[in-house]
Amino acid sequence: MDLKPSGSLKIDTFSMRIGDIEGIELDRLHAHSLSVGWPHRAEDWQFLRESGRGFVALDEIGRVLGSAMWFEHGADFATVGMVITSPRLQTLGAGQWLMKRVFEKVAGRDLRLNATRAARRLYLSLDFQPEKTVYQCQGIVRAEGTGRLAETRGDVRTLGEGDIPAAITLDGAGFGVRRAALIEKLFAHSAGYGLFKGDRLKAFALCRPFGRGHVVGPVVAESDADAVAVVRPHVADHSGSFLRIDTHVDNGDFAALLSHSGMPVFDTVLTMSLGKRLADYAAGGPAMPKTYALASQTLG
């Protein structure tokens, strides 16, 4: 496969050129994601721009027709997201053109992304391999009783700046890649709860404004019970409001909590990998941390 992209792309009667996403006004990026029904606010775009890098495809008069971003974690791994083109432009090669530009910037890295149904054919053509379904769970939440919290083996408390190093370590064990800069940035924009056994952080869940309301993620824990313990306080905090969680988990106590709290499955996407697969990052063992909820579909 020829992965060397050209500097422009001719589509029908007009041409597209590449631009740096940093130079695009937030209201134009917001309008771009709204055009395909994505919920990202201008503030969500700004968070992503501060966390990663990206390209936009512009027409001859500067309209945003496509986008693609990547988020590097160390020298060997990156996630890809915010790959947006209209279905018509994607069938004419715009999505592949943008992805080839991304490949130039992430050469040598293993890649992971979450693909919508409309984009799966594109990623398969670029040799990404299907991994796991992501369940987008969302809705107006209602707080349940807190009786089960008393059964938790450990203490649940709010997280502070001093807990960031432990959260980075726990997230790295669950995600498979250390994401220090991202976790630090998420802490600055999130409220968090952690489950502690003595002084050791066993599980945590962050929650920040996003889209129509708030999103909970990442959630990292060793068991369903621990994941439930750190998510339930966020549900209580946002009772009567819109809350979203993106998770690979579709059964057990954690999935039941989401459903019973008013967050049924709204949609699904598919985690796909190029290079090392998800299983290659798994530490293994029943007592090892697991990512119960993604930071977001874009960030993984």
Q: What is the pLDDT of residues 189-226, one digit of tens each?
A: 999 999 999 999 999 999 999 999 999 999 999 999 99
116 contacts 277 by C-beta, under 8 angstroms: no
Taking alpha carbons only, the member of 237, 250, 260 closest to residue 292 is 250
Query: For residues 83-113, b (16+ Cβ closer than 10 Å) or e, as one string?
Result: bbbeeebbebbbbbbbbbbbbeebeebbbbb
Q: How far apart are the first and last CA of the chain?
A: 27
Same domain, 277 and 141: yes
Same domain, 64 and 98: yes
We report the CATH number of the domain holding residue 52 as 3.40.630.30
Same domain, 168 and 118: no
- Answer yes or no: is 73 within a domain: yes
Domain stop point among 127, 159, 189:
127
Same domain, 150 and 116: no
What confidence category does residue 145 fall into, taking pLDDT thresholds of 50, 70 and 90?
Answer: very low
What percentage of residues in the chain have a pLDDT greater than 70? 89
What confidence category does residue 93 fall into, taking pLDDT thresholds of 50, 70 and 90?
Answer: confident
CA dihedral 198, 149, 134, 158 (to 10 degrees): -50
Same domain, 111 and 182: no
Q: Which domain holds residue 68?
A: 8-127
We report the CATH number of the domain holding residue 204 as 3.40.630.90
How many domains in the chain? 2
Crossing angle of the two packed helices 224-237 and 252-260, in degrees rounded to 10: 20
Domain stop point among 127, 151, 171:
127
Same domain, 101 and 243: no
- Answer yes or no: is 44 within a domain: yes
Helix (H) or strand (E) holding 275: none
Same domain, 48 and 189: no
- Answer yes or no: is 299 within a domain: no
Predicted structure pTM score: 0.90
- Answer yes or no: is 1 within a domain: no
Same domain, 85 and 44: yes
Which structure tokens are listed for 42?
């201008």
Same domain, 32 and 150: no
pLDDT, residue 169, reads 97
Domain stop point among 127, 147, 173:
127
Query: Once rounded to an integer, what is the mean pLDDT over residues 13-18?
Result: 76
